[in-house]
Amino acid sequence: MPELNLDLLGKSKGPVTTEYTWQDAALYALAVGAGPEELSLIYEGHPGGMKVLPGFVVVPAFAAWPDLGEVVWPLMVHGEQVITVHQPLPPGGKVVQAGRVANIFDKGKGALIEVRVSGSLEDGSPLFDAQWNVFYIGAGGFGGDPGPKTVVTPPPERAPDFETTYRVPPSQAALYRLLGDLNPLHIDPQAASLAGFERPILHGLCTYGYATRALVNGPLEGDPDRLKEFSTRFAGPVYPGDELTIKGWREGEGYLVEASTQGGVVLTNGRALVD
């Protein structure tokens, strides 16, 4: 079974400056399923100005991930994701980022590694905060703090306020990995089998991106700048070729979000804060 170096706790990286262009933002939009009908997300010359999906922050943020050392990447499965966006994302520019391993929890069957990255513009104004909770299969049982228990909140027992279904193309995981997430779990059948999946699965962050698009194209009326925060728990795999249905229920200043495929629920505890 894999072992985790517990000295990683508190390890940091940065500040590092990462530059991106409108092509990077457009590639992200395409990699989470956007098409010509969402022209403002993929066209730098859009009359109203190019817009950037909030989930894009995870792409430059990888440059500030601390080095986790020798880990078996197919056994690293995304558990939860949170992003908070403090101001609209520019179509291109430089981001100053810093990341750290904030927590390592012992979940018995695995270790939960919590990585946090914060980014700001060159003038020092905060741009985003992002948190990954990654489950390292088989690396638990070291006698550590089990951490907080996740309580799954079911959606309201009423019709959703919005519902969107997307078909995930068979090539979507191959496209998404061009953003830099090269875990073989999403492309190599043998790596997927090692992690207990029948075939390569879609990146959790790609599913996350589809959910943010559903919010933007639905209740946010095409304006990604209105999405201020989105957190969710990955409850099951999405396979390229699946039909992905995202539902949302209005609550307070945002929405409760859940997503499912023909195989069952894949996103739970989704909470979106909107402007």
Which residues carry out catalysis?
181, 186, 201, 204
Cα 162 to Cα 249: distance, rounded to the nearest angstrom: 7
CA distance 274 to 187: 34
From 74, 78, 77, select the one nearest 191 (Cα to Cα): 74
Rounded to the nearest 10°, the torsion over CA 232, 28, 181, 61 is -70
Instruction: Find how far residue 189's CA is from the centre of its chain.
Output: 22
Which letter does DSSP use for residue 242 in this model?
Answer: -
CA nearest to 55, candidates 204, 256, 253, 246: 204
